[in-house]
Structure 1
Amino acid sequence: MPIGIITSVGAILFGGIVGAISGKLMSERLKTGLNMVFSICSITMGIYAIAPLKNLAAVTFAVIIGTSIGIIFHLGDAINRGARGMQRFISKFIKGPSELEEKAFEDTLVTVIVLFCASGTGIYGTLTEGINGDATILISKSILDFFAAIIFGANLGAVVSLIAVPQLIILTLIFLLAHVVVPLTTPTMIFDFKAAGGVLMLASGFRITHIKMFPTADMIPIMAVIMPISWLWTNWVVPLIN
């Protein structure tokens, strides 16, 4: 198993456990404060990822088309069901949230799943490791993920550690496909891909503190359509415009 993926998955697994344990010792004020801090960090990282984009129109089209695909195929509903299943499993061993908190709990858990499993940096880092064995990006991201998992674990409990399972499956599949995908990309496509991931991080940051409940789960297909759209825009549309 690639070292970068092991590190990334381990960061979520153990960070979630540490957060669940330490959360009992934290005041509600501290938990709320840390949650808000991570929200602004997510927004900041989203802005940073979007800044170097090459084709604003391509990213915009990808956001619209990708989100439409997610909504049409009810991807958000499927991920919500998965989140509820994870909570039911963990509640057999550890007490879950109260009924009054259930909706907010599920909304936050879905946001966390998207952040950890559909991050542009995580996917790009996995592709990089798959093509040349360089795990630097994933290891660097794992440091942030570890502390993020602690923050969310303190608020949501040990269920956060279970996100390591779908993350492992997704990153492993991307790793195996790296030799097929990476040779087909260009630097412009990579910049636009990272920007699309930045849009997801922005939406997640707003959603974490309930500023605006963007359908982040339905937005995941953005990451699948951005590269083809970026290529089409660069090679077909831009020559026509010029």
Structure 2
Amino acid sequence: MPTGVIFNSMSILIGGLLGGFFGSKMSDSFKTQLTTIFGSASLAMGIYLIAPMKSMPAVIFSLIIGTAFGLIIHFGDWIAKGAGQMQKGMNKIMPHSQNKIGEAEFIQTFVTVLVLFCASGTGIYGSLYEGMTGDPSILIAKSALDFFTAMIFAASLGFVVCSISVPNFIIFFLLFLLAGFIYPLTTPDMIADFKAVGGILILATGFRILNLKMFPVADMIPAMVVIMPISWAWTNIVMPLLK
């Protein structure tokens, strides 16, 4: 049973509901200060995940290739369009769930939160790890931060944050099911490089949350798909040739 996957998705759903219901009772100053803390936490998580990387060239190549591919196919634009559709759908379910910020700011913030929840190296690795070992501890630990993050951002974005729990569950559940095929093909070095790429995405997300730099985090997501084969090729093909 995917206990960790369910727990993580429920933390986003419940946190989003609480933020949507009680967000109006929070002062703007309170929400701004907490958002700053979450941005700082994202920076710290990103640095922590990047530190153990094994093949820096493989990680850099993956980021360049993956982001270039994401920009070419306008991956971020597709996610932004999906965010708009999710907002419209939630407004039909809850007519009073309209957020109080402009459309451009809404899309920017929503994409940032979507990536933070669904494309983190910790979440993806945690899903694979639970699928192989049955241990949900990684995802449960992630859920603690996701709960409060969802609550705070729902205070500004509205109940639409709850809808992120759906793609979050689908992505992590599929990884949980595929773990038996994917995980045995990996090595500790590949996992470390994979988590490093996820850490860079989380680091970039932290910069977005703090409004320091608007990295194209959605377009960077394909880097997480190509890092493992590139990491393997670098370690087993390129490095022996350089010796």
What is the TM-score normalised by the length of structure 1?
0.97
Residue-by-residue CA offset, 1:35-86 (whole Å, 9 max, x unaligned): 1111111011101100111111110001101111111111111100110011
Describe the SS at the equivalent of 2:25. Answer: coil
Describe the SS at the equivalent of 1:134. Answer: coil
d(CA) in 1 for partners of 2:190 and 2:242? 19
d(CA) in 1 for partners of 2:159 and 2:65? 35
Q: Runs ≥4 in structure 1, deviation > 6 angstroms? A: none
Counterpart amino acid of residue 89 in structure 2: F
Q: Say if 2:234 is the partner of 1:236.
A: no
* Residue aligning to 1:14: 14
d(CA) in 2 for partners of 1:146 and 1:56? 32
* Residue aligning to 1:39: 39
Alignment match of 1:97 (pick from 96, 99, 104): 99
Q: Measure how far apart 1:233 and its partner are.
A: 0.6
Contact 2:97 2:159 survives alignment (8 Å): no
* Residue aligning to 2:139: 138
Counterpart amino acid of residue 239 in structure 1: P
Contact 2:66 2:221 survives alignment (8 Å): yes
d(CA) in 2 for partners of 1:216 and 1:198? 12
* Residue aligning to 1:4: 4
Describe the SS at the equivalent of 1:218. Answer: helix
d(CA) in 2 for partners of 1:108 and 1:141? 20
d(CA) in 1 for partners of 2:98 and 2:60? 39
* Residue aligning to 2:181: 180
d(CA) in 2 for partners of 1:38 and 1:164? 19
d(CA) in 2 for partners of 1:155 and 1:215? 22
* Residue aligning to 2:127: 126
Q: Say if 2:51 is the partner of 1:51.
A: yes
* Residue aligning to 1:191: 192
Counterpart amino acid of residue 83 in structure 2: A
* Residue aligning to 2:210: 209
Counterpart amino acid of residue 37 in structure 1: I
Q: Say if 2:156 is the partner of 1:159.
A: no
Describe the SS at the equivalent of 2:148. Answer: helix
d(CA) in 1 for partners of 2:27 and 2:75? 35
Q: Measure how far apart 1:118 and its partner are.
A: 0.6
* Residue aligning to 2:116: 115
Counterpart amino acid of residue 98 in structure 2: G
* Residue aligning to 2:71: 71
Q: Measure how far apart 1:237 and its partner are.
A: 1.1
Describe the SS at the equivalent of 2:54. Answer: coil
Residue-by-residue CA offset, 1:95-147 (whole Å, 9 max, x unaligned): 4235x621111100011111111110000010011112111111111111111
Counterpart amino acid of residue 113 in structure 1: L
Percent identity, aligned pairs only, is 56
- Which is further off, 179-188 or 148-157? 148-157
Contact 2:34 2:152 survives alignment (8 Å): yes
What is the TM-score normalised by the length of structure 2?
0.96
